[in-house]
Structure 1
Amino acid sequence: MKSFFIESLNGITKSLREILDKDFNIQFILLVGGYAESKILRGHINDKFGDQCKVLCPFRAQEAIVKGAVKFGRNPEVVASRKSAFTYRIATCQRFDESRQQKRNSRPMGVVLL
């Protein structure tokens, strides 16, 4: 199962390593958002950085994003800078089902799109 996450884990590790190699005196890594609820991610970050920093993940980590967005909406000065280095996505492959494809690739007036 971990092999499914390896690309994103390596990217996160690289980014955190670049930040921690700078002299910022960082003592904590706070994991928030839906991905933070993954035991695989939390275990990986603890394995890689647990000796340097204390790794924290709040209960219901997804809510931290929503609460932060609300606070930012009320007072934009609460955030000094914003940077999103990664976007996560999922790709899937499905068997071809002609009945589903015809519905998906047609307009309401019945014209088939190729």
Structure 2
Amino acid sequence: MKKRLRKKLHRVEFAVRGVSVRASFTRHLDSTEFDRFTDGFIEEAIEARALWFGGGGHPAKGWEGVIEPRTGDTTIRQEDLEWVRAWLRERTEVDSFEISEPWDLWYGKNPFDEEPQPEA
């Protein structure tokens, strides 16, 4: 496959590798608390590191999504993952969270389709 086609199809050296993230809460959050948590995550953990995020959740059931690397990068950086982990650890409303190993966001299988194993 030619380089131009590999790039267009996000293959080989152009594969985009991100991570899945999910969190459970210490208690049922009201809608204002849930919105504040989500907004804070987007602004302080994602946009502060120039990452991309897609996901959501429910105030009583928890929250999950996918974090993509910075524009122009093909793999999420370890220092960005540490930043996200630290942000989640500091949140009093987070009971536990899990961040997957990087996986191919275009052609891979989401590791969270299996059983959860909380990190903290």
TM over 0.5: no
Q: TM-score, normalised by structure 1?
A: 0.29
- The structure with the greater share of residues assigned to helix is 1
Q: TM-score, normalised by structure 2?
A: 0.28
Larger radius of gyration: 1
- The structure with the greater share of residues assigned to strand is 2
